[in-house]
Every structure is written in C-alpha cells, then in structure tokens.
Amino acid sequence: MVQKKSTRAVGIGRVLIAVYAILALAATGRSVFQIATQFQQAPLAYALSGLSAIVYIMATVALIMRGRRWYAIAWGTISFELVGVLFVGLMSIIDPSVFVPSAKYAHSDHSTVWTYFGIGYGFVPLVLPVLGMLWLRHTRPAVEAEISASDESGSAASADGSVDPLADESAAGA
C-alpha cells in the first residue's frame, strides 16, 4: 500500500478530486459575482452561495491531504454539502421566493449551486457528496492500515467459503 502518499488521492479518487475542484471553482466564481454585485437582493441565498463555495474548496483540499484529521474534515464538509443540497433543494420547491425568485431560469439569478438539488449543475452537487462518502468509506484510515494484515485473514475466510461454494455462488448471484 502507498502509505507515504495521500491515502485518498489514488486511482479513481483523483477524478473525484478533480470534479470537486471544478465545482469549487464554479461555486467560487458564481458567489464572488453574486456577493460583489447584488448582495442586497437576496442576502440569505448569496451568503449561502459563498458558504457553499468555501465548503467545496475545503472538501477538495481535505480529499487531497492525508491523515486522520483531514479524513474527519472531509467527512464533515461532504456531509455538510449533502445536507445543504437536500435542504436548499427542498426549500426551493417549498418556498421558491427565498432561493428562486425567477422560476424561468432555475440555475440563474438568485439561485445557489444547491437550488433545485443542483439542477443548474446537472445535479452534480447532489451526486458528488454521495460518491464522496462512498469513496471515504472505501479509503478509511483503519481499513488502510488493516489491508496488509487482513490478507491472511482474507485467505482464511476464502478457505471457509470453499466449504460451501454453492452458498457463495447464490450470494453472488443475488
């Protein structure tokens, strides 16, 4: 295992980080524009837009960095994103006046990256936290440390499995 490098920035995880970086750029660009030019029009939506940009940047950095603390920060920021996209997504349907004064363009005007569950960004903001969580679970530090040790127990488990191969096959087929 590559312990010296980042434990999360490997393989397909790098694509996840790249997509996070792109979304962080997109959210930052939009929120800077919104806050700089028309903050008074919808303070709550634009403040949230700025917050989401910061959280996306933090999540991107946390995914790249190694160590348990960054792992925890990654979980925190990605969870925040999921809560954010679900809450704002629901709010934009229940009470559109807060986040979407102009229903014609759901992805423009007073919207945030999370409005209508991220429809303006191809629902990427909705899908990304879920993929991020799956990736974090896949690369959690405890598992990382156990992988080398678990090789022996893994072979023992397969030996146990070979006692009843039919059960394994039916489980795989299900």
Place of tokens 């393989």: 11
Closest CB to another protein among 18 and 157? 18
Report d(CA 55, CA 43) in Å as an integer: 18
Binding positions for another protein, 74-133, rule CB under 8 A: 105, 108, 122
CA–CA distance, 136 with 140 (Å, rounded to integer): 6
Closer Cβ to another protein, 91 or 120, answer by number: 120
Shortest Cβ distance from residue 171 to another protein (Å)? 28
SS3 content of the chain, % helix, strand, coil (to 5): 75, 0, 25
Which of 1, 5, 29, 44 touches another protein (CB under 8 A)? Answer: 29
CB 106 within 8 A of CB 100: yes
- Binding to another protein, residues 137-166 (CB under 8 A): none
Among 6, 25, 66, 133, the residue binding another protein under the rule CB under 8 A is 25
| SS3 of residue 50 by DSSP | helix
Please report, as a single letter, which amino acid is at residue 1.
M
Is residue 12 within the footprint of another protein (CB under 8 A)? Answer: yes
97, 42 Cβ separation under 8 angstroms: no
Q: Which is nearer to another protein, 107 or 140 (CB)?
A: 107
Applying CB under 8 A, what is the total number of residues that bind another protein? 18
Q: Which stretch binds another protein (CB under 8 A): 11-19, 83-91, 139-147, 161-169?
A: 11-19
